Amino acid sequence: MDTEWLPFLLQTTDALFPTGAYAHSLGLEQIARMGIVRDEASLLEFLRRQAIPALRNLELPYLRFAYESQEDCETLDEEIDAWKLCRELREASLQLGARRLKALQAIYPGAFGRHHLTVYGRQMALGGVPLGTALTAYLYQTLAGACGAALKLIRIGQEGCQRVLRECLREAPAAVRASLLVTRGEAGWFNPLAEIASMQHERAGERLFIS
Which structural domain, as residue segments, surrounds residue 104? 27-197
Does residue 208 belong to any structural domain of this protein?
A: no
Does residue 210 belong to any structural domain of this protein?
no
Residue 76: how many other CB atoms lie within 10 Å? 23
d(CA 90, CA 94): 6
pLDDT at 38: 93
With respect to residue 8, please indicate whether it lies within any of the assigned structural domains.
no
Q: In which band, very low, low, confident or very high, does the pLDDT at 174 lie, cut at 50, 70 and 90?
A: very high
- CATH number of 123's domain: 1.10.4190.10
> Distance (Å, rounded) from C-alpha 42 to C-alpha 83?
26
Total domains present in the chain: 1
Average of pLDDT values for 154-160? 92
Tell me whether residue 4 is in a domain.
no
Query: Which one has a higher pLDDT value, 34 or 1?
Result: 34
pLDDT digit string (tens) for 91-149?
888 999 999 999 998 887 777 889 999 999 999 998 999 999 999 999 999 999 999 99
pTM: 0.94
Q: Is residue 193 part of a domain?
A: yes
